[in-house]
């Protein structure tokens, strides 16, 4: 049974609740359910503020609006109110809609036009729209030139990545942050289109925070990766290029999921994503043991990324290694790959065949 320090529940109202309301919590010799504790503190808090309503203790969820002095409404206003309420309670399924171009059919009724997805004019002079769409996607296709890896071991999750961004053969940056901090206990990696990854990870961070505020508990890694995978599936075929790993520590322990822009989502213990991933897998799979210490795991991740940057042209720059433990993530190191090379393989003085010697003075 995990021991949990109890911090004043009054402060919990404004910060994250670290455990479920049903969990049994120990304060000194007494063992109570957490929600009982919350109730006691709230009641004592309210004894100083009797004007506050008591109904919030006994209704666990607020579905009905608060009581008001009734106003006499005519039939039309009452109907409008009902409809507004019904609209507000409608589920937001905008993330699940498919965005396939709607071909206006000859038999479209008024209702069909109202509920059909937005349609647009085809580009002028375009006989074959499918080919045009394929070509448009091809121009935006990124080759996922990068190396990122993540693995679970007994002490948590290690996440590592290089820092090079390339556009074809040109290196556009050697200092890109490819490990995105979604929140203090979850990390995401970036591979593929940089803009896509940055935007959707930030979007995921927003959704995770909304989940916490709505449900008063942190989202699990399973849940977060599912949210992202569902969003990416709804944009499938539109040319997004994302190959990311969501790593974190939740109530069930360390979690690692691979999510990509084709809509795939895989749970696993070891992943590497990007053009340098075959090289990183070779080193990672060889040196992996579940019972490593944090230092050994750190060195393994750094070595794997270094070897990938040596062999792969599209990876390079700086190796960043992060560790996700029970208290959240921590950045372990950021080493320049070139310095690592000369550290692992110092320059040997080569034997010189012909050496010029000054002629002795006559």
The verdict on 302 binding other proteins (CB under 8 A) reads no
The verdict on 145 binding other proteins (CB under 8 A) reads yes
* Annotated active-site residue in 146, 148, 189, 309: 146
Which residue, 166 or 244, is less far from other proteins as judged by CB? 166
Contacts to other proteins from residues 57-96, by CB under 8 A: none
The verdict on 346 binding other proteins (CB under 8 A) reads no
Count of residues in contact with other proteins, rule CB under 8 A = 25
Which residue, 165 or 332, is less far from other proteins as judged by CB? 165
Q: Which stretch binds other proteins (CB under 8 A): 38-46, 74-82, 254-262, 337-345?
A: 337-345
- Give the separation between CA 275 and CA 147, rounded to whole angstroms: 6
Helices 194-215, 221-234: axis angle to 10 degrees equals 130
User: Taking the chain, what is the end-to-end CA distance rounded to the nearest angstrom?
Assistant: 91
The verdict on 317 binding other proteins (CB under 8 A) reads yes
Q: What is the largest CA-CA distance in the chain?
A: 123
Catalytic residue list contains 146: yes
> What 3-state class would DSSP assign to 149?
strand
The verdict on 356 binding other proteins (CB under 8 A) reads yes
Residue 7, phi then psi, degrees to nearest 5: -100, 155
The verdict on 193 binding other proteins (CB under 8 A) reads no
Of the candidates 97, 330, 95, 323, the residue with the CA atom closest to the CA atom of residue 207: 95
The verdict on 175 binding other proteins (CB under 8 A) reads no
Judged on CB neighbours under 10 Å (0-12, 13-18, 19+), 79 is: exposed
The DSSP symbol for 38 reads H
Q: Which of 146, 148, 166, 277 binds other proteins (CB under 8 A)?
A: 166
Which residues on neighbouring strands pair with residue 173, listed in sequence order? 165
The verdict on 174 binding other proteins (CB under 8 A) reads yes
The verdict on 170 binding other proteins (CB under 8 A) reads yes
List the catalytic residues: 146
């Amino acid at each position: 049974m995990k021991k949990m320090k109890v911090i004043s529940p009054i402060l919990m109202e404004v910060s994250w609740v670290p455990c479920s309301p049903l969990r049994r919590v120990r304060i000194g010799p007494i063992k109570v359910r957490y929600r009982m504790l919350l109730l006691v503190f709230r009641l004592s808090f309210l004894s100083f503020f009797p004007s506050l309503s008591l109904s919030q203790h006994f209704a666990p969820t607020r579905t009905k609006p608060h009581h008001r002095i009734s106003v006499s409404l005519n039939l039309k206003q009452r109907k409008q109110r009902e409809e507004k309420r019904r609209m507000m309670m409608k589920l937001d399924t905008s993330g699940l809609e498919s965005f396939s171009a709607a071909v206006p059919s000859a038999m479209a009724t008024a209702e069909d036009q109202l509920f059909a997805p937005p349609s647009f004019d085809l580009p002028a002079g375009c006989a074959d729209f499918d080919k045009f769409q394929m070509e448009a996607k091809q121009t935006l296709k990124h080759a996922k030139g990068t190396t990122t890896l993540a693995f679970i071991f007994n002490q948590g999750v290690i996440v590592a990545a290089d820092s090079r961004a390339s556009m074809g053969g040109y290196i556009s940056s050697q200092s890109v942050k490819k490990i995105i901090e979604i929140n203090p206990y979850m990390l995401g990696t970036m591979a593929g289109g940089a803009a896509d990854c940055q935007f959707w990870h930030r979007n995921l961070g927003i959704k995770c925070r909304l989940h916490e505020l709505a449900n008063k508990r942190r989202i699990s890694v399973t849940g977060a990766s599912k949210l992202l995978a569902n969003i990416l599936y709804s944009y499938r075929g539109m040319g997004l290029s994302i190959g990311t790993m969501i790593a974190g520590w939740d109530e069930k322990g360390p979690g690692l999921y691979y999510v990509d822009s084709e809509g795939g989502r895989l749970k696993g213990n070891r992943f590497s994503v990007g053009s340098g991933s075959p090289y990183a897998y070779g080193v990672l799979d060889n040196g992996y043991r579940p019972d490593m210490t944090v230092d050994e795991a750190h060195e393994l991740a750094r070595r794997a990324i270094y070897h990938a940057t040596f062999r792969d042209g599209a990876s390079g720059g700086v190796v960043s290694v992060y560790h996700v433990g029970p208290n959240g993530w921590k950045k372990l190191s950021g080493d320049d790959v070139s310095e690592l090379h000369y550290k692992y393989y110092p320059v040997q003085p080569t034997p010189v065949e012909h050496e010029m010697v000054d002629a002795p003075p006559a």
